[in-house]
Amino acid sequence: MIKKPTRRSIAGLALIALAGATASAAFAADPWPNKTLRVVVAFPPGGPGDVVVRLLQPHLQQALGQSVIVDNKPGAGGNLGAQEVARATDGHTVLLGPDTMLTVNPHIYRKLTFKPQEDLVPISYLVRYSQLLVCNPSAGFKTLADFRAAAKKGSLNYASGGQGVPGHIAMELLQDTAGVNLVHVPYRGPTPAVQDVIGGAVSCGFLATSVVGPHVRDGRLVGLAVSGARRTASLPAVPTVAEAGMAGFDATFHDALWAPRSMPAAHIERLQQELAKALSQPEVRARLTAADMEPVGSTSAEAVRSVRADFEKWGQVLRKLNLQVD
């Protein structure tokens, strides 16, 4: 039986329609963007953030009616790219990079020339992902227990994508939890790091699952443990660090789109809405999931709350470790 609409339901629908019309009118009154949008990626090509933005690029171009270019500016754990965007005043420059730029770097980099949490505003948390502890097969490790035993006996090195990046921070937490010390070999991004682990120049690496997963599946690397709270979809046999014997361990990270503080709130909202639409599309979600990244598409306010919580979480860990980077 079909019910007749009530006065209340009609009024509610009218309010929704009015809100939509108001938002559309606001966007029409402010025809932004009116030129090319530049997305500065704070890490080299091939990393999680680079993969995400190039997947979303055509969707944003269509929705915004302007070209979207990707500009990789790696260095200093994302600080070089972040600093450039923080100082941008053209209204058409945004940043793509991990949450560690705001939750970790202020704790460990002593010579920052900008204030990440004051100078940058999160537009949206785009994806959630983990790091994967991998080793060259010649190292002889099959499990995390093997790795811990070897680390306790002597010097063992590992690669990450740079100082203060997710893999570095995940390994610092793992070392503290396991009571071991390893030699950190930082690289300019995860791609050169994984190549040296495959080549045997470095024994192991803690790197993004999207980067090292294919090499585990083809047998060139051995996956020992996932840093996050859940196993990855593409490597379901690899346990989490917590499952492998370190209860409560969770080092989960996010890649986000950030705006300079000078960008108007209406423009941030426009980008967030278009990103949420793109991330809701089945083909986009499928491609991200296949790359071991979980689509998020948060609001700016939700991302702000997460940044604050993780800043406090990692601050406690890093103060205990007394980790500092010049």
Q: Do the Cβ atoms of 111 and 326 come closer than 8 Å?
A: yes
Q: Please choose, from the candidates 59, 31, 92, the residue with its C-alpha nearest in 3D space to the C-alpha of residue 277.
A: 59
List domains and CATH numbers for the chain: 35-129+253-321 (3.40.190.150), 131-226 (3.40.190.10)
Write the DSSP assignment of 254-321 as a string of letters: EEEEEEETTS-HHHHHHHHHHHHHHHTSHHHHHHHHHTT-EE----HHHHHHHHHHHHHHHHHHHHHH
- pLDDT tens digit sequence for 182-228: 999 999 999 999 999 999 999 999 999 999 999 999 999 999 999 99
Average pLDDT score over residue span 69-73: 97
Q: How far apart are CA 300 and CA 306, in angstroms?
A: 10
Q: How far apart are CA 309 and CA 34, in angstroms?
A: 36
Q: What percent of the chain has pLDDT over 90?
A: 85
Q: How far apart are CA 278 and CA 26, in angstroms?
A: 21
Query: pLDDT tier at 2 (50, 70, 90 boundaries)?
Result: very low
- pLDDT tens digit sequence for 97-123: 999 999 999 999 999 999 999 999 999
- pLDDT tens digit sequence for 218-266: 999 999 999 999 999 899 999 999 999 999 999 999 999 999 999 999 9
pTM: predicted TM-score of the whole model, two decimal places: 0.87
DSSP structural state of residue 159: E
Average pLDDT score over residue span 153-157: 88
Nearby residues of 96 by Cβ (< 8 Å), 6 or more positions away: 39, 40, 41, 42, 49, 50, 52, 53, 126, 255, 256, 257, 258
Dump strand ranges (E) for the chain: 37-41, 68-72, 93-98, 120-129, 131-135, 157-160, 183-186, 204-208, 222-226, 253-260, 294-295
pLDDT at position 17, please? 41
pLDDT at position 155, please? 81
pLDDT at position 18, please? 44
